[in-house]
Structure 1
Amino acid sequence: MTGDAPTFARKIREAADAVRLENTYSKEHILGMYLSEVYLGHGAYGMAAAAEYYFAKRPSELTVAQAALLAGMIRSPSYYDPVTRPKHAVHRRNDVLARMLQLGWISSDRYALASKAPVVLSAADRNMAQAAPNSYWTQYVVDSFLSNPAFGPTVKARIKALYQGGLRIYTTLDPKSERQAQQVLADRMTGAGLPQSALVSIVPQTGAIRAMAVGNAPYGPNQYNLAVDPGGGRTAGSAFKVFTLAAALEAGISPNAVYSGYSPRTIPNCGGGETWTVHNAEPVGGGSYPLWMATADSVNVVFAQVIDQVGPERVAEVAHRMGITTDLTPVCPLTLGTSPVSPLDMTSGFATLANEGVHCQPYAIARVVSSTGKSVYRQKPECSRAIPVWVAQEETAMLEGVVSFGTGTAANIGRPQAGKTGTGQDYQDAWFLGYVPQLATGVWVGYARAEIPMPYVPGYGTGFGGVLAAPIWHDYMLMATEGMSVQDFASGSIGFYAPAPPPPPSPSPTGSPSNQGNGNGHGKPGH
């Protein structure tokens, strides 16, 4: 309150404040306020935090010996630290016990018992409590706390509440799912020369984050959460087509509308902007594609025509409604994911589809309890309708084809699921995002230090999303859904889309969609 400047003015203000405190509160109340904030080492502020840190107990559960040890630390928390200086801590504890005996606060028998008691610290809880975040997840929780006005009107007030408030914070993380995510990333994409990776898993119906893991980038030397913001965001490639598809369905374009698949394709003044020439990933020989087949095979030239029809502004607006929080440049290449995004945002967007068009804001803090056990905060899901239910259902039916017979077959876990691959320009970023009705998960693979092309990744090959990211998604979701009931998606108006025998290819490229014919082909970076 009065600062720490070594001046007479500060001393006078301190004296005035002391008089006001004594006139307002009892000595017991003042002592209680002091003990709730006093520093006791290892980032523990207050008796409640210290009791939890050193003994994994509430203050009311401490023995006389344990309480005396903490009280003795007030003079010098580092010198009487029971972790690093146990002999000093015991000597100081016994001084406190002797004074308590002298004052008549404890009996001789109780003094004799307490002064001989060994100091047994809770190693498990001590490893959990840190003066600073010790993982990407705890850093994300700290950031979430400090940015939430519910925990204080200013950042300074929130910092005090977090580190000195004796609060117990319960998060949405599922420890088993988190361990599984970390293990899969370690098994699949860890080692010298391999790229980094990130995985996020969200409950679509609430927005609760169940897992958030980063691979091949230990927290200590690389304290940058790739799951939340990889290098300022990364290009999502064809994974971003889900937003173009949602905008197209919402605008009344049929899943059976047929487009030319000839590559390259030049679209003059695309979407009212610049002329754009777009290529598929590989030369596929042309042909016609119904929109549902172009989705499964991730045909870039088809989606270029779709965003030209719908308008890039509308695609950006739909993406923001569904969960993308970063700025999006409303130009036709947006359909290929040219605006940077994060794995968290992309997973949130796919979770909107899993939740039949209702978007729930992702959150990490479930509830907060005070040092006395009183609940002071409980997060309620913040959900709102982003797209019509029929659009989400229709799109899900189309995205089921990606996993069943399209570019994402490596992600197939043998139950109703939908998803989309994505590959950044020049194979710089690889994605797979998908969902079952109860869980949405996103995986990103790429180099953290820069957007470095991945034309060949040892053990995998070319850095497509279906090659690098889909297997990670598969392994994680296979474990995450174990014991989870198998649920079907609600069907779209046409239902599941499956390939049919292709008609003869069109004799020449055509530009306008129709309602006849289909074909097959492949995507590109990214498919």
Structure 2
Amino acid sequence: MRKTDAFFKLIGLCLLAGILVAGVLFPVAGAAGMASNTASETVDSMSVELANVPPPLVTTITDSAGSPIATLYDQYRIPTATNQINDAMRWALISVEDKRFLDHHGVDWQGTLRAALSNGAGGETQGASTLDQQYVKNYLINVIYRNDEVGQRKAQEQSLARKIKEARIAIQLETKMDKDQVLTSYLNVVEFSRKIYGIGAAAQSYFNTTPEKLTVTQAALLAGMVNNPPYYDPWNHPQRATERRNLVLDRMVENQKLAAKDAERLKAEPLGVVPDGPSKPPSNCTGAGPENGFFCQYVQDYLLTNGMTKEDLYTGGYTIRTTMDQNANHLAKVSAETQVKKNQKNVANTLSLVRPGKDRHEVVALAANRDYGTDSTKGQTTYALPSDVSNVTGAGSSYKIFTTASALEQHKVGIYSTIQTPQSYVSKVFIGGFKPGCPAVAQGTWAYCLQNYGEGNYGPQMSLQQALATSPNTGFVILEEQAGLGPILDMSRRLGMRNTMASNSANGGNVDPKNPRPEYNMPQQKFYGPGGISRNGLGAFTLGVSPTSGLELANVAATIVSGGVWCPPTPLKQITDRDGKPVSPIHEAPCEQAVPAGLANSLAVGMSKDIEAGGTAHGAVPPGWNRPTMGKTGTTDVSGSGAFVAAVPQMAGAAMVFRPDYPIGGLIDGGPGNVTAVPGTGDGNMFGGKTPARTWFGAMAPLLANQPVVPLPPSDPAYER
């Protein structure tokens, strides 16, 4: 640089420093005065934001007992009080960043002029920002504009306007905060790289310790990082980090906060950070682990569906106490995995448990044979298998519950009434496909032709209660004709299949993009109903061919044993804010009387024979099970999926086994731990009374072992015949 250039640059920077002083302290008249007054209003507004916009904090999710299971965050930050920051950290930061911090009032005018002179004369570049000013800048970048790149750039731009605003806010802060508060606030907001913010999180992540226990060398390393966190990252750049740490030690000596001989000794110490990167929890539900991750995922989905934003969830610092029972969730996981290996290709086995009640339906367990996680090579998934509408091939004859409930409501039949159950049947009310062996009358006509499973397994008629236990297809399609598909579909929604019926993936959705079928984009409520793709609807609905949520199916059972009261399947016990105060940041749907109590009680009695001799789930009942139980099995075409939905008064649940990756084809049940997907599209031998029922009982038997045997409520004569 030529001497004349340096001279004029020096003069310009001196003038700039003078203008900065004037601009901060003395608004001028005229247009400049108006601009300054506007700036004053901006400063006032900004200072209010600094006070009222809290920094992002970690949201903690716990089980029902209050034990943490996961953390959700955008910035990993552990709030730290002044008395939790030791002198080593305090003096390391002051020494390297603002050694006159205790003497100035927000702006270091001596440092500002010194920096201007040094930089203008071509000497070593020096900064002049105080910790107050750095706090302002970091708050703007890391809090107020954390998701706004334009705002972040403005908060860092090298301009007079920005410097004036920053300085004025810093001076104003000093009128409202003492030095300890400024220092603590700065150390709570500043970044330490890798989504680590604040000294509490930094001490934990870098050294597995707390701020009050930081050593001098540890404090020096962290203090040195705030200048440029990625550049001084000790794992990526250990040499740079060491040199910077040692510079901080030298500055502490200059500031008379460390003896020279101690500094020389400390410089020889290794960095001492935890090996292999920072020690911090995962920032999402993977932190809940393979067993609890599905429940965590449901908590997140439930909150976002019911009014909370992801931004608020991941930055609000909430403590979300859930309804998850660790013991129940563990038993459910063990049972699901006992029946189907966790890495079994294209086989998912899920179990959802819901506690019945007339004011709440608490979800206590959500489990799958697969682990929750991101490593697909280990059979892991982050797809919400138990709670989402994930079983696209359906839950089979368990949907006969809805046909039965609707027919009972309309008094078309009672639970002890006799219904017709011919071996084969042709319905001209509904549209459907044709199957080999159906009467010739169906050929070439729009009709629904079906037959019961097996030969000679059913008589021509039986009681509705017996039909619920043995599940003849023809009897329920005839009952479906009598009740009408519109009311039946409405009943399925009322009893609990709300997200399921609103989903638009009927029959697996529009699986062929080359041959679009717009009707497959209809909500299931419309797709299967009158006026959907058929004038009178699709009769196969009662046979459970539609995509299904296992959790909602479990909640149907909870509704029935709760006297017909539907409540949303909630995973929430209590939510408290960052200050520990209870809050209600979402809107949960109120409970409602879905069906009369007498109908629900009668339906439960009607479904009470499935686990007795002759019922389709009888073989899965463990020895010693003596609890009155309502239940219904279900199996889909070619045994591609199976379900068992059941309840006792204390607990309801649904188990489903299905093909999650390639849904076309059957499943083979070779006994516990030996369930496989049929290669190709062939038939299997899966039934709801096999893997699903064994999964249900495998969790329920130990879970209820110490609870009293409670009878099902008695049926109502109005719904008996």
Query: TM class, shorter-chain normalised?
Result: 0.7 to 0.9
Count of aligned pairs: 483
1:495 and 1:309, CA in 2 relative to 1: closer, same or farther beyond 3 A? closer
1:357-402: CA deviations, max 9, x gaps?
A: 1111112243333333333348878321111111110011111111
Please say if 1:415 is aligned against 2:627.
yes
Deviation at 1:104, TM superposition (A): 9.7
Residue identity in the other structure for 2:628: P
Percent identity of equivalent pairs: 26
Q: Which of residues 432, 447, 453 is equivalent to 2:659?
A: 447
Note if 1:398 corresponds to 2:606.
yes
1:306 to 479, 483, 487: 479
1:144 corresponds in structure 2 to 302
1:278 aligns with 2:460: no
Equivalent residue number for residue 47 of structure 2: none
Q: Does residue 436 in structure 1 map to residue 643 in structure 2?
A: no
Which amino acid in the other structure matches residue 661 of structure 2? Answer: R
The equivalent residue for 1:169 is 320
Report 1 or 2 for greater relative contact order, CA contacts < 8 Å, sequence distance ≥ 6: 1
Indicate the SS of the match to 2:609.
Answer: helix
Instruction: Using the TM superposition, give the Cα deviation of residue 280 of structure 1 relative to its aligned residue in structure 2, in angstroms.
Output: 1.0
Task: Look up the equivalent residue of 2:553 and give its one-letter code.
Answer: M
- In structure 2, the partner of 1:224 is 383
**Within 5 A, what are the aligned runs for 1:18-417?**
18=166, 26=176, 38-40=190-192, 43-45=195-197, 63=213, 68=219, 74-75=226-227, 129-134=281-286, 135-150=293-308, 155=309, 158-159=310-311, 161-190=312-341, 192-193=344-345, 195-205=347-357, 206-216=360-370, 219-220=373-374, 221=376, 222-229=381-388, 231=390, 233-252=392-411, 253-270=413-430, 275-284=447-456, 286-324=459-497, 325-326=499-500, 327=502, 328=525, 329-330=528-529, 331=537, 332-377=539-584, 382-405=590-613, 406-412=615-621, 413-417=625-629
Q: Secondary structure at the match of 1:259?
A: strand
| Counterpart-to-counterpart distance in 2, 1:187 and 1:177 | 15
CA contact (8 A) 2:630 2:646 kept: yes
Distance in 2, Cα, partners of 1:409 & 1:471? 10
Further displaced range: 378-387 or 408-417? 378-387
Partner deviation per Cα, 1:215-261 (whole Å, 9 max, x = no partner):
14653223322112354734111011111111111111211221221
Contact 1:271–1:312 (CA under 8 A) maintained in structure 2: no
Say which is worse superposed, 441-450 or 370-379, in terms of deviation. Answer: 370-379
> Which stretch of the first structure deviates more once superposed, 292-301 or 453-462?
453-462
Of residues 172-181 and 468-477 in structure 1, the stretch that sits farther from structure 2 once superposed is 172-181
Unaligned runs of 5+ in 1: 498-514, 516-527
The DSSP-based 3-state class of the residue aligned with 1:465 is: coil
Cα pair 2:599 2:716 within 8 Å, conserved: no
Instruction: Return the offset for 1:491.
Output: 0.9
Find the aligned partners of 1:455 and 1:362 in 2 and give their Cα distance: 29
Partners in 1 of 2:607 and 2:302 — Cα distance?
32
1:277 is paired with a residue whose SS is strand
State the AA in 1 paired with 2:353: S
Q: Which structure 2 residue ranges, 5 or more long, are not aligned?
A: 1-143, 287-292, 433-444, 503-524, 530-536, 676-683
Q: CA RMSD in A?
A: 4.4
- Shift in alpha-carbon separation, 1:411–1:269, aligned structure 2, 3 A: same
Aligned-partner SS, 2:454? coil
Greater radius of gyration (CA): 2
SS in 1 for 2:386: coil
Relative to the length of structure 2, the TM-score reads 0.57
Residue type at the aligned position of 2:297: Q
How far is 1:298 from its partner?
A: 1.0
**TM-score, structure 1 normalization:** 0.76
Aligned to 2:685: 462
SS at 2:646's partner residue?
A: strand
Deviation of 1:31 after TM superposition, in Å, equals: 6.8
CA contact (8 A) 2:391 2:659 kept: no
